[in-house]
Chain A
Amino acid sequence: MPANPVTYTAFLNADEVRAVAVGRRRRERAGAFVVGGGTAVVLVALLVIPLFLIHSLLPWTGLAAGTWQRLGVLFAGSVKAAVAALVVAVPIGLATAIFTAHFGAPRLRAFIKPALEILEAIPTVVLGLVAAATLAPWLKTNLATLLLAVIAVPAALMAGGLFFGAKLRRRETWLPLWLLPLLLVVVAAIVAAFARSDQPVIAATTPWNAVLIGLALGLAAVPLVFSIAEDALTLIPSTHTQAALALGATRWQALTSMVLPAAASGLVAAVVLGASRCIGETMIVLMASGNTPLFDVNPLTGLRSISAELAIGLPEAAPPGQSYRVLLLAALVLFALTFVLNFLAERVRATLRRQAGTAAHGL
């Protein structure tokens, strides 16, 4: 083979080569600066939130009488909303995750996960609208229906499982689709049963109550609880389940004896993250809580949350004023609360991921 007649160096003289080399080094340094700088800005941004809030509250001159009480009402309101939502979101989210991760057919899983992603994408203002405009009037007269449904549907499911479970055992992986008609029938029966009475069996004093918020905010939180829980469950190697099945256990027994205990901390993290999300949510609470500035534990009364107070109060409050400072304090409390919850949950998840990594290597 003759010596390569064409070389790139033939096209560049020594000066050009040097200029290119210098230019490359300079661009590399500039690039590193840009990347590092951009990242530093992001880091600063996280710190800025609490620092700004704290800075605005200094010098601390104390608060007017009764302010702490008001803040307490708001705090309790946020917690009440979150609890109501978790009552809905945790059972449904965890159960859906358990089914999808442990029992579901892969194609069903490939459908459920994007579906829940879409649910998560729905803006909460829209959920608040549905809650306020459609759900609230219905709930005002149909509280008994809801209560009965909450009891009857799981009971029907369990009874169905007890008596017919074996027959459908092979179709288990697509069970939700088979059960959909059963759900509809049970709900329709309950609705029909109560439709004949004139008066609402249970009357709520106001439609803007914690039950309404629980339904709307709970539905909004289901995707988050689901995805964190499903993440935790799929981290458990399938060999755990295979081993249990080989010993003669049913899939359910494998779940309760091996998978759930192993994934327990991840499931707790899912609940904690869900709680954090619910505490921080604004629009649903703003539109569906009645914003009653009183607190009591009764689920049939309204509430006022920190986030709703911020949304209502801040546009009016002017910076140096007392009300402005109080609102900033409330925002700081909200930030701290959600930050702590998030931090703890993420720590738990990171530990789980590390354990799963070493377990995979061990096996």
Chain B
Amino acid sequence: MLTSLSDAASAQTPSSALTGVEIALETRALSLWYGKRRALEEVSFGLPARRITALVGPSGSGKSSLLRCLNRLNDEIEDCRVEGKVLVGDTDAYAKDTVVHELRRRVGMVFQRPNPFPLSIYENVAYGLRLQGLRKRRELDECVEAALKAASLWDEVATRLDDSALELAFGQQQRLVVARAIAVEPEILLMDEPASALDPAATLRFEELLHELAQRYSVLLVTHNMQQAARVADYTAFLHQGRLVEFGDTDSLFTNPRERQTEDYITGRYG
């Protein structure tokens, strides 16, 4: 865990916001190109540990791309170039000797549409555990149960762990995906508009879950919904056309934004 920001990140973040705050992940002048198109421009910020940070901004501002840089899922895209640094704890994510799949275990991800595997509920959660070398049935059982409990899904599925995960409702599927991700003990959870496919009741349940998750994991939450950011997030970052315009604790960003662009977005003048 980092305890202090680099100069570059400090420049974009008011020191008042993050003094003495533990940082779980830091980006330094992160830039991203898809072919000739620049998607991210010198983004530098620090993700506070065990807090929820919201990432807001208009469509196409690069929020999802930024997320994919943090767990190197962008590697799967052709013609994709990254410059700058991403530090997960003490590890340089883009260093030559970094083992990508081990990085991705530490940085979990929940996608916009729930993507449970076409396996049983149990096997979905056990998928990552088996990869890490857990074999004994009893050990797997305990870890699966713990993960499902931590995702507040256990009560609903305890009796039907062998049923197909595809039979669950969307809200349950999304919580299953969370359980799957936290089973392998990540440090950071990246969430790309996780509630956008859910109905309001399921969304509310999911937001309650987020509060619980933040007690153990550092959450970076991309959201279109500013009310959600206001409800849920401790900190908020505003991204516009690939640049990090402003970063601060949610209350002050919403009530007293420093940048004109931020104020325009929040008041709905565009986006």
Contacts and interface: CB of A to CB of B under 8 A. Distances in A.
A and B touch in the complex (CB under 8 A): yes
Contacts of B132: 8, 12, 17, 20
B101 interface: yes
Nearest to B215: A1
Interface of A: 1, 3-9, 11-12, 16-17, 19-21, 24-25
A3, A5, A7: most-surrounded residue (chain B CB, <10 A) = A7
B99 A9 contact: no
B131 A24 contact: yes
A19 B139 CA distance: 18
B20 interface: no
Interface of B: 99, 101-102, 129, 131-134, 136, 139, 142-143, 145-146, 150, 182-185, 212, 215-216
A4 B216 contact: yes
Top 3 nearest A-B pairs (CB, nearest first) are A20-B133, A6-B146, A1-B212
A3 B143 contact: no
Contacts of A9: 185
A12 B134 CA distance: 8
Contacts of A3: 215-216
A8 B183 CA distance: 8
B150 A4 contact: yes
Contacts of A11: 134, 136, 139, 143
Contacts of B182: 4
B78 to A, nearest CB: 16
Given A11-B134, A12-B134, A24-B131, A5 B146 contact: yes
B102 A21 contact: yes
Given A8-B129, A12-B133, A20-B133, 12 more contacts: A1-B212, A1-B215, A1-B216, A4-B216, A8-B134, A8-B184, A8-B185, A11-B136, A11-B139, A11-B143, A12-B132, A25-B99
A8 B127 CA distance: 13
A7 B133 contact: no
Contacts of A21: 99, 102
A19 B136 CA distance: 17
A175 to B, nearest CB: 42
Contacts of B215: 1, 3
Nearest to B213: A1
A4 B102 CA distance: 21
Given A3-B216, A7-B185, A25-B99, A16 B133 contact: yes
Given A8-B143, A9-B185, A20-B132, A1 B150 contact: yes
A24 B146 contact: no
A4, A7, A8, A25: most-surrounded residue (chain B CB, <10 A) = A8
B185 A24 contact: no
Contacts of A12: 132-134
Nearest to A5: B146
